[in-house]
Amino acid sequence: MVSVKELANVLGVSSKTVYAMVEEDRIPCYRIGCGRGTLRFDVEEVKRSLKRQTPTKLESLQRTPRKHLL
């Protein structure tokens, strides 16, 4: 189990981004303690979750056509 800061370093993002991903339910986390608690993460679980969410290369290349030409 790692902290927000440690997970941010592993993923190469900011701590703020990790908090945003938690808020959006994009990554699994564990709350330790009372109230809001301290967040902890299983790195492998997070990586699996993100991998499932990542679109395939083909999907990422497909764009919605423009309705109006510039």
| pLDDT tens digits, one per residue of 12-70 | 999 999 999 999 999 999 999 888 789 999 999 999 999 888 665 555 555 666 677 66
pLDDT recorded at residue 61: 52
Q: Give domain status of residue 64, yes or no.
A: no
Enclosing domain of residue 12: 4-55
pLDDT recorded at residue 34: 85
pLDDT recorded at residue 26: 92
Backbone angles phi, psi at 64, to 5 degrees: -75, 130
What is the total count of domains within the chain?
1
Residue 8 has pLDDT above 60, yes or no: yes
Q: Give domain status of residue 68, yes or no.
A: no
Q: Give domain status of residue 15, yes or no.
A: yes
pTM recorded for the entire structure: 0.72
15 class by beta-carbon count within 10 Å (0-12 exposed, 13-18 middle, 19+ buried): middle
